[in-house]
Homo-oligomer: A and B are copies of this chain.
Amino acid sequence: MSRRSPAGSEPVSEAAARRLSIYLRGLQQLEADGLRTISSHDFARRFHLNSAQIRKDLAMFGEFGIRGVGYDVASLRNHLAGLLGIDEEKNVILCGAGNLGQALAGYGGFNSAGFRVVALFDVDPAKIGTSLRGGLPVLESAAMPAFLVKTRVDIGVIAVPAESAQKTTDALVAGGVRAILNFAPVRLRAPERIFVKNVDLKIQLETLSFYLRNS
């Protein structure tokens, strides 16, 4: 999560945060299915997780299980949402309104429970001043510093070409954005206090390739 992290590296704490998010997704599913309690064992089996790991992860943050009953689905879901900070809405901006930026703008997960995309930024005159479906504005990249002064932005998503990624990062940092999700295939320099998460989609392909080879 620091500026020295390569794409895809997972320090222990980042892996744990990732697991909390996976647990939350499972709990939401259970709630939708009408389940009120579940044991760590059943939870693990249902979602192909490790029950000892679940107990260990949750124990870091308090005592949630009830002996002989398991976890209360709704209360654990609430608690995890709080731990993940998604009980308060986070404002997200998408830097880059090309195919990737527009795909992310339309991606359900980027505009639901806990997150709200407030604007896209681009340098293309043909895009600046337009709105995407849903009314999301595409603003001029040069206007980002002024935008960041008047609007609280929690997370900046880098969806610009590699050669513009550092300049965009610098503008986000200067504007007070503390967390950056980077889709550009380049290592970004940012102060230690800024959380930079690099997305490396090739890891997903390689995982599939591993299974094809080893099955």
Which residues does A use to contact B, with CB under 8 Å? 1-2, 4-12, 14, 17-18, 20-22, 24-26, 29, 46-50, 83-86, 90, 92, 98-100, 102-104, 106-110, 112, 114-115, 154-155, 178-181, 185, 195, 197, 199-215
Contacts and interface: CB of A to CB of B under 8 A. Distances in A.
Contacts of A49: 9-11
A180 B49 CA distance: 21
A208 B179 contact: yes
Contacts of A108: 185
Contact of A208 (B12, B197, B214): B197
Contacts of A12: 50
B207 A14 contact: yes
B26 A209 contact: no
Contacts of A6: 25-26, 29, 47
A207 B83 CA distance: 10
Contacts of A207: 14, 17-18, 21, 197
A208 B109 CA distance: 14
A21 to B, nearest CB: 4
Nearest to A11: B48
Contacts of A114: 205-206, 209
A201 B110 contact: yes
Nearest to A26: B6
